[in-house]
């Protein structure tokens, strides 16, 4: 029962390859990812920072208002899956908006 609740609430980690394989299933849903932080960037004059999370099955960009994790640090990310645009029922430009 606890596992079912965790899955329903987006608490159990999802693999990046699952999201990339069926992005419409995850579009606008809250997920938890576990992986390694890569390539953090803080742009001037913006509240958000960006980095990649790599879980060994793939990587996704993460947008966050939190402090950037150190390069190579193992992280858990909880956020909403968004796509830049949809065309013909497919999602393109997937990103995870942390904390949303």
Q: Band of the pLDDT at 5, cuts 50, 70, 90?
A: very low
CATH number, domain with residue 35: 2.40.50.140
Single pTM value for the model: 0.82
Domain count, the chain: 1
d(CA 70, CA 16): 20
Instruction: Report yes or no: 10 and 31 within 8 Å, Cβ to Cβ.
Output: yes
Domain that holds residue 15: 2-98
Q: What share of the chain is helix, strand, coil (3-state, %, to 5)?
A: 15, 50, 35
Task: Give the mean pLDDT of 70-82.
Answer: 97
CB 80 within 8 A of CB 95: no
pLDDT of 100 higher than 50: yes
Q: Specify which residues 96 forms β-bridges with.
A: 62, 81
């Amino acid at each position: 029962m606890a596992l079912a609740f965790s899955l329903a609430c987006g608490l159990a980690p999802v693999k990046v390859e699952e999201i990339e394989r069926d992005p419409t299933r995850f579009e606008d849903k809250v997920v938890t990812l576990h992986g390694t932080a890569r390539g953090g960037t803080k742009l001037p004059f913006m509240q958000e920072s960006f980095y990649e999370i790599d879980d060994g099955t793939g990587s996704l960009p993460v947008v966050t208002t939190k402090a950037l994790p150190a390069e190579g640090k193992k992280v858990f990310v909880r956020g909403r899956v968004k796509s830049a645009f949809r065309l013909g029922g497919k999602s393109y430009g997937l990103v995870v908006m942390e904390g949303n």
